Amino acid sequence: MAKTHEYEVVIIGAGPAGMTAGMYAGRAMLRAVVLERGAPGGELLNTEIIEDYPGFEHIEGWDLAQKFDAHARKFGAEVHTATVERVRKVEDGWFETVTDAGDTYRSPTVILTAGGTPVKLGVPGELEYAGKGVSYCAICDGAFFKGHRIAVVGGGDAAVEEADFLTRYAEKVYLVHRRDQLRASKILQKRVFENPKIEIIWNTVVDRVEGDAQGLVKALHLRDVVTDTTSVLAATGLFVFIGFRPNTGIVEGHVRHDEGGYLVTDSNMETSMRGLFAAGDVRAQLARQVTTAVGDATTAAIAAEKYLTALKNGQYDPQLLSSGGYAV
């Protein structure tokens, strides 16, 4: 039976941003709940090794996710397994967060930390062979390709890092990139350039994924974007890392966003919809790292606490909030 719950803060997503927001909300003694459709951790669960989080020179993504989860729960954050279908602001000024089970979570504030969904290539055969050679998670599926010749599409940090990771399983990894230079950080580029099992195919896109009689990927049809010539690459795996689409579509009503769909916030992480805060990968910003997600969420949770106090006192004013005029 569907239920209605009331909290002061509802946090959507349990990645680094969501668990940090939960921890700070718990420390502030707020009635807060973190809603997550899967295991807490977000993209940490798809990352083998983290080397750029201060205090941890080298830690597995799963281990760091567990530490985030335990820390948030220690300070009283509730974590519920639930898939959020929509968030809407109703006439009384509160938010209603509705799950696929029909449960409604009512709250005066929401912190959206829902991350993103991998962007698809949108080419013939991609969806048909998803899970049959086409993947969007190297850690999840890399072990299935021991001794194979596979391709990675993309040129950013994720693509380059995952291409390097996949060489521990694959015999050969082709990094297919539509430009003539990578966008990844220099240290990651260096690893790829020095890895003898990686070959970069420049100025090229995948036009079609071809399968065999068993329904598995056997080849990729490529096209050079400069010469428009085509070729066929024998490969039994295709890993796509061309970006993420922010999971902001669950919010009903207009909220200011950039052309990529990322939410625009002020310095308090508050969106154009009063009481709705955003942190991590859903927010428009230069970098999307664990460190930035944690920083965003810290600000969002503290700002939400001040917002709630101001509402109770009938003194809400965004300018005072930004200047620290609301003592909590």
Point out the catalytic residue in the list 52, 100, 140, 180: 140
| Burial status of residue 63 (CB atoms within 10 A of its CB: 0-12, 13-18, 19 or more) | middle
Of the residues 103, 137, 207, 224, only one is catalytic, namely 137
Q: Which residues have C-beta within 8 Å of that of residue 318, sequence separation ≥ 6?
A: 266, 268, 270
Distance CA 223, CA 230 (A): 4
Q: Which of 92, 100, 103, 141 is catalytic?
A: 141
137: exposed, middle or buried (Cβ count in 10 Å: 0-12, 13-18, 19+): middle
The residue type at 286: L
Scanning the structure block, which residue is given the tokens 């071809």?
210
46 token code pair: 């798809």
Taking a C-beta distance cutoff of 8 angstroms, is the pair 155, 240 a contact?
Answer: no
For residues 181 and 158, the answer to whether their CB atoms sit within 8 Å is no
Q: What are residue 180's phi and psi, to 5 degrees? A: -100, 10
Length of the chain: 328
Is 140 noted as a catalytic residue in this protein? Answer: yes
Q: So which residues are the catalytic ones?
A: 137, 140-141
